[in-house]
Structures are given as structure tokens and as C-alpha cells.
A and B are shown apart, each in its own frame.
Chain A
Amino acid sequence: MSAGSANAAASSVNVSSSTKSLRVFGDEIWKNKTAKINAELFTLTYGSIVSQLSTDFQRNFTKVNEKLFAMGYNIGTRLIEDFLARTALPRCENMVKTSEVISKCAFKIFLNITPQVTNWANNKEAFSLLLDENPLSDFVELPMDAVKELWYSNILCGVLKGALEMVQLDCDVFFVNDVLRGDQSTEIRIKLNRVLKDEIPAGED
């Protein structure tokens, strides 16, 4: 399937059929359109940042969490432009579609992983991403004083928050679990607060 037809299909309203093609679409872009770099260097660089912050904040990990989130937020507000330029995907009509795009396109294109979407709230406005793999934290072990407080990959929540806000979705994004803290899974929760209707650019329907 060509990327073109995948894109056309991705904009179709039928969620079940677009689920598959979004995956193909994301894979295609990752494979053919995205320049890549050694993931270990990425892991190491991120480790160096967290390490530096831990020192800067005198191992106050609550502050480190906040700082990582703030850094992620800045990244998200920029990264969304890259994502849109690369994919030209249309606005998602609901959170179900949003979750698919985040997992199968965004995570795929930037980090080459596809988190599972799960734990939907009844109103279909909150869901969880389960990260089976996480290039930010490969081979990381938390020191004993950090294991209960630090959300090592908290930058991801910030990125999601920032990126979603730029497409006018006001969401809460936070870690629920992290294998680094001894949990069974790594889970990020995304909860839609409201659609920022006033900020949707004029010219869209």
C-alpha cells in the first residue's frame, strides 16, 4: 500500500478500517521518510540530562519530575510542527482517533515504538498508553533514593501535554506506573479536560 492511499484512508471516518492503515502509514513514514540516529546515544544523552538535574536540584526528585515535565512541554509545542509537517494528518474527530495517532504514528515516527492503548474511561475521554519498551530508559536503574519519587521518563508526559495543547486538546498527562520503580508495566495516563474550541485556527470546519 502506498503512503498516499494510506493517508487517504487514514482520513476516513471509519475507525476500525483506519486502525490498520494508520499503523501502515506510521511504519512507512518511519521507514522511508525519517532520518535516524543510534538509540543508545539518545538513552545516554537523556541519562546525562536527568543526572544533571538530579545534581542541580540536590536530589529533590519532585522538582526533577517537574523540570522534566516542563522540558517535555517545551519540546511538545515544537515537536508537533514536525509531526504535522511530516504526516499532514487531519484533525482527529475524537479521543479514540487521537489515541491511535499518538500510539501508531507519533511514538512510531519519533521513538520507533508502538505503545498499547488501553484502560479507556467510560466516556472515552481518558486512556492509558502501555510502554513495553522505552528508549529513554533502556538499561537504567534508579538509585535507591530515587526509586520511589522519580518518574524517570516524565519528559514524555510533558511532550504529550505540549503537543496535544498545540492542537487545541487540553489534557492531563501523567505516569501511573513505571517498571523502573518496580511496577509490572510502564503506563502513561492521558485524560482530556476540554477541547480549546476558541483556539482552533479559523478556516477549519
Chain B
Amino acid sequence: MAIQTILVINKSGGLVYKKEFLNGGHRLTSNEYLVLAGTLQGVIAIAGQLTPKALQITKNSGIKDVTDQETLVAYAGPLGILESQDMGSFMLPDYFTESFKSWNTSGLKHITTDQLSLFVFQSLTGVKLVAISTQNSISNVAVSIAENLLRKVYCLYADYVMKNPFHEAEMPIKCTLFDKKVAEMVSRL
């Protein structure tokens, strides 16, 4: 899976980080990226409301087991983590090694076209991480790899953005180390 772009969208829908990895091809302008971020924010919100009422009621009535299974993301392997790597505040072999539950259960999670697919990872705090891939697949494997990758980017965000005193909340991310670490991780995929 070739990752084309990684985006970070803050909880109010503002684009705070974008990184493109592939050279050539048509690129979005900064403004178009801002529109994309805002649109995604809106669609995520609408998607929640589209959830059929019947399903919402079943979920709220406490029959949770089935949905729990559905939203559990399997661990997809190291995805390019090296044994000799500097892991920041985490420890080798990896940022996490267990399956985990997605926080985003009724919002938009992926979009696909014939040329690409887009994946959304949303944290409890409202931070959204987006990966755009050149592969037009949203198969279970692809989704799980993307979720794993985005959670790792979230770990990098926790280390190299949140622990940087010069980063201001909700503002564009200008942390060179975060940049570098994300690029390293994506290049090793």
C-alpha cells in the first residue's frame, strides 16, 4: 500500500498538518486541503446521524458483544518498525502489539474511488488522522493496516507534538521531529 498523504485534523475541523509522500501527479492546493479537512469533518458528523435508528437502539440497549467484535482492529505487525529504532517514550518491539477497539464506530471511516482510498482514525479527544493511499481497496486487510498505521502516527503525535513546548494546541503542527518520524515510518511500509 503506497501512502500518498497523511493529514491531521483538529477537533474543530481545521487542518493542522499535511504531508505528501509521492512525487508527481496532481496535487491539491493548500486551500483544497483545507476544504477537504472541513468536508471530512462534516461528513463524519453526518454519517453518525445516518446510522439507522434500529441499530442505534440495539446498541444502546446493551447488546454490545457483536459490535465489539466488529470494531476490534487486529494488530497488523510491525509495519516497518526496526529493532534498532529510537522509540521515544515507547519501548521496542512496537508502539503496541495488541488488537484494539476503534473509537470511531458510527462516523465515516473510509472512502474509496477507482484510484485511491482514504482512511480516517479518530481519537476520543476529537483529533482525526487521515491517510490517503493510492490503492483502491478497502478490504479488511487494508483497513486494518491503515488503522494500525494511523494509530502509530497517533503515537508519534503524542510524543513529538504533544511533548514539544513550542507547539500550541489546535494550531498547525510545525515540529520537524514529527515530520521526520512520520516520513520514516511511511517510507518503510
Interface set of A (CB-CB < 8 Å, partner B):
2-4, 6-8, 11, 13, 32-35, 77-82, 84-86, 88, 90-91, 166-167, 199, 201-205
Interface of A is mostly: helix
B72 x A203 contact (CB < 8 A): no
Q: Are B68 and A203 in contact (CB under 8 A)?
A: no
Interface of B: prevailing SS: loop
Contact A203 B105 (CB under 8 A): yes
How big is the B interface, by class? 35 or more
Would you call A205 and B91 a contact (CB within 8 A)?
Answer: no
Query: Can you list 28 A-B contacts with CB-CB less than 8 angstroms, sorted by A residue number?
Result: A4-B97, A6-B98, A11-B68, A34-B91, A35-B89, A79-B162, A80-B125, A81-B125, A81-B157, A81-B158, A82-B158, A82-B163, A84-B123, A85-B95, A85-B155, A88-B100, A91-B103, A166-B125, A167-B124, A199-B126, A201-B11, A201-B125, A201-B126, A202-B44, A202-B47, A202-B48, A204-B122, A205-B60
* A86-B155 in contact (CB<8A): yes
Residues A204 and B68 in contact, CB atoms below 8 Å apart? no
Instruction: Write the nearest CB–CB distance from A196 to chain B, whole angstroms.
Output: 11
Contacts of B154 in A (CB 8 A): 81, 84-85
Residues B47 and A81 in contact, CB atoms below 8 Å apart: no
How far is the CB of A75 from the nearest CB of chain B, in Å? 9
For A82, the chain B residues whose CB sits under 8 A away are 89, 158-159, 162-163
CB atoms of A91 and B91 under 8 A apart: no
Q: Known contacts being A82-B159, A203-B108, is A88 close to B122, with CB within 8 Å?
A: no
Please report the C-alpha to C-alpha distance between residue A80 and residue B124 in the assembled complex, in whole angstroms.
Answer: 9
**Chain B nearest Cβ from A205, distance in angstroms:** 6
Q: A86 to chain B: which residues have CB within 8 Å?
A: 90, 96, 155, 158
Instruction: Verify if B39 is at the interface (C-beta below 8 Å from A).
Output: no
The answer to whether A3 and B97 touch across the interface, beta carbons within 8 angstroms, is yes
The reply to whether A203 and B89 contact each other, CB–CB distance below 8 Å, is no
- Given contacts A4-B75, A82-B159, whether A203 and B124 have CB atoms under 8 Å apart is no
Chain A residues within an 8 Å CB radius of B54: none
Question: Is B101 in contact with chain A by the CB < 8 A criterion?
Answer: yes
